[in-house]
Chain A
């Protein structure tokens, strides 16, 4: 099966610092990766679509300068939360698309971010 990993699984940081989250497809190449955010008792909300070698596409209401996405290779996408604030505390989940269709989105285990 296709495996997607995320690192770290959990991070606690001080307000104002930046946090980088990695999403890796371990046994397949992903031309597209997606980043989602999930607040407690809420559904997953798509933040941005990351395409290898090009700029990410952000959903309405998501600040691209605050949530920096880099998809430098076919197996790695990173999400950097810059100048994190307590309201950024959430569960961040990535998914990787193996062949360009939604049927092949494989989800990572998620990263729990707590900003103090």
Chain B
């Protein structure tokens, strides 16, 4: 059974700093891994999706990497801004299914 862990649970940084969020998963037989953003009381915004055959994906200031062999993914945010403050969720597919298993998220606060 797939389990997804995110570290740290919370992170506070000054504006402009580069930062890395970590995600680990137990079952490497994934279709893909996704990173989402969730603002308080809101739904999910998809940020990046990495297929199992890929090693990284980039969108603007965001870069996500995937290392299936070690069961790890990272989300790199460059030049952080206060508007980046949110909870970031990592989700991996479970085994040979399309079901997504979510981590508990990392709550990011970017201070002006």
Provide the bound-state CA to CA distance between A60 and B104, in Å.
19
Residue of A nearest to B44 (CB): A107
Which residues of the other chain, A, contact B31 by a CB distance below 8 angstroms? Answer: 101-103
Provide the bound-state CA to CA distance between A45 and B89, in Å.
12
From B68-76, B78-86, B92-100, the one touching the partner chain is: B92-100
From A11-19, A63-71, A79-87, A108-116, the one touching the partner chain is: A108-116
Which residues of the other chain, B, contact A45 by a CB distance below 8 angstroms? Answer: 102
A76 close to chain B: CB less than 8 A: no
B112 close to chain A: CB less than 8 A: no
Known: A42-B104, A43-B89. A102 touches B98 (CB 8 A): yes
Q: Nearest-CB distance from A4 to chain B (Å)?
A: 9
Q: When the two chains form the complex, which single residue of B36, B51, B102 contacts A103, counting CB atoms closer than 8 Å?
A: B51
Which residues of the other chain, A, contact B44 by a CB distance below 8 angstroms? Answer: 44, 93, 107
Residue of A nearest to B4 (CB): A43
Q: When the two chains form the complex, which single residue of A44, A102, A108, A112 contacts B93, counting CB atoms closer than 8 Å?
A: A102
Query: Could you mark each residue 17-54 of chain A with 1 if its beta carbon is under 8 Å from any beta carbon of chain B, else 0?
Result: 00000000000000010101000011111100100000
Q: List 24 A-B contacts (CB under 8 A).
A: A6-B43, A36-B102, A41-B104, A42-B104, A43-B89, A43-B103, A44-B44, A44-B89, A44-B102, A46-B99, A46-B100, A46-B101, A49-B99, A95-B100, A97-B98, A101-B31, A102-B31, A102-B34, A103-B31, A106-B46, A107-B44, A108-B43, A110-B43, A112-B41
